[in-house]
Amino acid sequence: MKVAVNQIRKEVEARIAFVTYNRIGSGQFANGLMQVNGFELYLFQNSDLSKWGCKDDKYDAWDFLFMPKGQKKQVMQEFAKSRKQKVSEIMSQAANLQDMDKVYIYVGQRGGEGIIKLSKKLPGEHIVYVMCDCQKETKLRLIKEYGHQDAEIIWCECGGQETMEKLVTSYL
């Protein structure tokens, strides 16, 4: 008796990616592929656990609060450069996002414009933007500009770690 291959092998229901320049949850998930319950989950995150998007945990919020004004400006520029680099790194690792059935992308206050721009090559119907409401109008304008007005939007807390964690665990 012949049996079709698809009767033997469990088919993948969907390929789903989670992309953030922050961590997902507390960093308990490794980057890469997780196969679970018929889903292929691809995680792309800032897994180096850096604070404020800055390398080597140089500053924490308390240090930043009491910095002289000139130093704050320099630190903010460093943070912005670090976030931009992290977004590019993550998106280059996630080069095959166009093959995904669904892509959850965190869009924050800083770094969000870059990740929206980098997502413009993806089909809008496959994108779910997970966004805090910081600079909400700018984000919505950019999403529309890049032709993704049909993309789903999930509003979340600043940083998106908790919401992204809930989304990942909903597939487990």
Encoded amino acid at 52, one letter: W
Domain boundaries, the chain: 5-49+95-169
pLDDT confidence of 96, banded at 50, 70, 90? confident
Confidence of residue 145 (pLDDT cuts 50, 70, 90): very high
Banded pLDDT at 83 (limits 50, 70, 90) = low
Reported confidence tier of residue 170, pLDDT bands at 50, 70, 90: very high
pTM attached to this predicted model: 0.72
* Band (50; pLDDT cuts 50, 70, 90): very low
**Buried b / exposed e across 118-154, counting CB within 10 Å, b at 16+?**
bbeebebebbbbbbbeebeeebeebbeebebeebebe
List C-alpha distances in Å: 147 to 61, 127, 164: 37, 11, 24
Q: Would you state the pLDDT for residue 27?
A: 84
